[in-house]
Structure 1
Amino acid sequence: MQITVNAQPHEITSNTLDAALIELGFASPAVATAVNGAFVARGKRAETPLAEGDRLEVLAPMQGG
């Protein structure tokens, strides 16, 4: 299915958020996620379905000052 990840189009085969993160290479648990603008907690990713055209935002924490 076609989704948008961080403003870039991606074709994925996964149908849940947690599986999509693995497929897309976001294996670190230290990321924040949102689907269609709504924050999704880490504990809810396995039960969060994805559909054609969804917008996924993945943010990783940054260090520094």
Structure 2
Amino acid sequence: MNVLFNGENVEVSASNLAECLVLLGVSDQHIATAVNGEFVPRSQRHQLQLTEGDRLEVVSPMQGG
């Protein structure tokens, strides 16, 4: 299925957000995730089923000031 990952169209074969993050190579990082503009806690990533055209946003925390 095609999803929009941080502004880029990508093809993934995952059915849920957790699997998708593994395929995209970002699952081992400390990250925040959102699907279609809604924050998704780490504990709910396995439960969130993806559909064609979903918008995934992944951000990493930054230090500094």
Count, aligned residues = 65
1:29 Cα deviation from its structure 2 partner: 4.5
- Which structure shows the higher helix fraction? 1
1:50 Cα deviation from its structure 2 partner: 0.3
Structure 2: any 5+ residue segments left out of the alignment?
none
- Percent of aligned pairs sharing the same letter: 46
Cα deviations across residues 9-64 of structure 1 (Å, max 9, x unaligned)? 00000010000000000022510000000000000000000000000000011123
Question: Structure 1 length as normaliser, TM-score?
Answer: 0.93
Structure 1: any 5+ residue segments left out of the alignment?
none
Question: Structure 2 length as normaliser, TM-score?
Answer: 0.93
Which aligned runs of 4 or more in structure 1 are off by greater than 6 angstroms? none
Q: What RMSD, in angstroms, separates the aligned Cα atoms of the two structures?
A: 1.0
